[in-house]
Structure 1
């Protein structure tokens, strides 16, 4: 069985800007990784019953964006 990763941009923050295809992806994924809990759409997603793992702690504890993104990549690949 081959694992699949889907990357989806949440857009500028309003639910109206999320495509129908994007919404369908969000509803069906067993794991949802969200770059930051500070994205404006995250609260709306919670109200829809959709939550995920955020990486805000990586931004706070890493020395560079390169380190942040490497850590995020490693975390996703180990799931």
Structure 2
């Protein structure tokens, strides 16, 4: 089983820093599933549950790491 996360970086982060972190994550056994270069800088990653606790996302350039999921602009009750 695996979990998906979105990793975002501060807007002034050099691309080579993002690429190096992505490569480090892939070497840990995770899979980069998408790269973000327009509105945000970063990538989405699928991480096997067996290695998720071994990953380190520590970086002064990091903006955040959050679970990837469905986001809506309206409440579910309005869609029924």
TM-score relative to the length of structure 1: 0.28
More helix by share: 1
TM-score relative to the length of structure 2: 0.28
Flag the structure with more relative contact order, 1 or 2, with Cα contacts below 8 A and sequence separation at least 6: 2
Q: Which has the larger radius of gyration?
A: 2
